[in-house]
């Protein structure tokens, strides 16, 4: 049996599975509330790596939660630009 308690779900904010699970069990919150309580999904990647895991934890812990109900959205911290735009002289 594998011990998932120390498994890091949010690499940016170093939030573990155990932290997410205990917070979800204690507060019976939505994915957005879980994000605000634990900072999972608030790091540099904006939730691109942990968003689905946080949603799944909520779906498993909170009864009558449909998949994707108030899903977390992720927002990249920067906008993609071309090298030409960066090196352009004015």
Q: Could you report the per-residue pLDDT of 12-51, keeping only the tens digit for each?
A: 999 999 999 999 999 988 888 888 999 998 888 888 888 8
Q: How far apart are CA 50 and CA 14, in angstroms?
A: 11
CA distances from 19 to 4, 14, 44 (A): 11, 10, 19
Q: What is the pLDDT of residue 37?
A: 93
Q: How far apart are CA 59 and CA 39, in angstroms?
A: 18
Does the model's pTM come out above 0.85?
no
In the chain, where the domains are located: 8-87
**Average per-residue pLDDT in the chain?**
80
> Nearest to residue 40, comparing CAs of 62, 68, 18, 59?
18
């Amino acid at each position: 049996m594998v011990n998932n308690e120390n498994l890091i779900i949010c690499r940016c904010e170093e939030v573990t599975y155990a932290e997410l699970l205990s917070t979800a069990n204690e507060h019976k919150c939505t994915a957005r509330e879980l994000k605000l309580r634990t900072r999972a999904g608030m790091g540099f990647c904006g939730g691109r790596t942990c968003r689905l895991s946080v949603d799944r934890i909520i779906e498993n812990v909170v009864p009558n939660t449909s998949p994707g109900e108030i899903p977390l959205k992720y927002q990249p911290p920067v906008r993609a630009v071309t090298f030409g735009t960066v090196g352009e002289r004015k």
